[in-house]
Amino acid sequence: MNDIVQALINRKSTRAFLEKQISLVDKNLILTASVNAPTAGNQQLYTILDITSVDVKKSLSILCDNQPFIAKAPLVLIFLADPKKWHDAYLAVGLSPRKLQIGDLVLAIDDALVASQNAVTCAESLGIGSCYIGDIMENHNEVKNLLHLPSHVFPAGMLVFGFPTEQQINRPKPARVHLKHIVHENSYRTMDHVELEEMFSPKAVDNNYEKWLTAFCNRKFNSDFSIEMSNSISKYFRDFDY
Ligand SMILES: Cc1cc2nc3c(=O)[nH]c(=O)nc-3n(C[C@H](O)[C@H](O)[C@H](O)COP(=O)(O)O)c2cc1C
């Protein structure tokens, strides 16, 4: 196995950082790797917010479901899906572009997330850990106000970066489910109860699948945070003026 494949397989999230700054050289490498990711029609349908303000980081750490490590991260990048800038350019020279639609936003979200993953991989190669923060999509009104997001621009992903503490380096990586459940050949296969249990039961720490799944559902899907997140994302889509 080559070093790149090994690094991709070993990579895990970092949520505690050393008090060591990320150099400008490393930051520029991360950003340059990011914008060189594949991008639909070479349009780069995203804008990256480089959050340097301590106050904004603090607000984000609160708005993103109270995750204090966000405020301590030396580098915080927000990947905005941004189909608006091309539309604005078309309008600015007097063209008559069709209205932006949800489909344009979804393509831009793809673009933004492909770019963000290049940032993760580049950082990893420099010894810098990272963690996605999905909660950036929560708290629709507050995040929009804080970052001055116009309609047609959606915070697809947030990444925090920093050098991992020893504890983070030694923390075991959470296991993934078996490939055979993830890769379906040629067409989609709806998995039955038996296969679903086979897939997920290794995650049940006490070997009691139903008890574990009930707790997981309550924590991850039926919880207030999950409902709020889902409502907030739906609001961005409803806000979309099309
Ligand atoms: C879309 C997305 C959103 C995530 N949001 C958060 C988050 O808000 N907070 C957090 O601590 N980790 C977050 N993560 C990290 C996941 O929890 C982590 O990737 C997962 O548990 C697997 O662990 P690993 O990355 O260490 O392998 C997110 C990851 C993704 C891809």
**pLDDT average, residue stretch 47-56:** 98
How confident is the model over 85-132, as pLDDT tens digits? 999 999 999 999 999 999 999 999 999 999 999 999 999 999 999 999
pTM of the complete model beyond 0.85: yes
How confident is the model over 186-229, as pLDDT tens digits? 999 999 999 999 999 999 988 899 999 999 999 999 999 999 99
At 80, which helix (H) or strand (E)? strand 75-81
Q: Return the pLDDT at 242.
A: 64
Is there an atom of ligand 1 within 6 Å of 84 CB? no
Q: Return the pLDDT at 238.
A: 87
Instruction: Give one DSSP letter per residue of 94-122, joined into a string.
Output: T--PPPP-HHHHHHHHHHHHHHHHHHHHH
Q: Return the pLDDT at 205.
A: 83
Is there an atom of ligand 1 within 6 Å of 15 CB? yes
**Residue 149 sits in which domain range?**
3-172
Half-sphere exposure of 120 (CA within 13 A, CB side): 23
CATH number at residue 166: 3.40.109.10
Residue 79 resides in a domain = yes
pLDDT for 241 beyond 80: no
The model's confidence at residue 76, banded by pLDDT at 50, 70 and 90, is very high
Residue 228 resides in a domain = no
Residue 116 resides in a domain = yes
Angle of helix 54-63 versus helix 140-147 axis, rounded to 10: 170
Residue 212 resides in a domain = no
The tokens describing 198, both together, are 């086979």
Residue 138 resides in a domain = yes
Overall number of domains in the chain: 1
Distances (CA, A) of 117 to 30, 69, 150, 203, 216: 10, 20, 24, 25, 27
Q: Name which residue sits closest to atom 8 of ligand 1, judged by CA.
A: 133
Is there an atom of ligand 1 within 6 Å of 12 CB? yes
Residue 193 resides in a domain = no
Residue 187 resides in a domain = no
Distances (CA, A) of 136 to 4, 16, 65, 89, 234: 29, 19, 9, 27, 14
The tokens describing 214, both together, are 């009930």
Q: Separation of 13 CA from ligand 1 center, angstroms?
A: 7
**Sequence-distant (≥ 6) Cβ neighbours of residue 194 within 8 angstroms:** none
The tokens describing 52, both together, are 């340097």
Residue 46 resides in a domain = yes
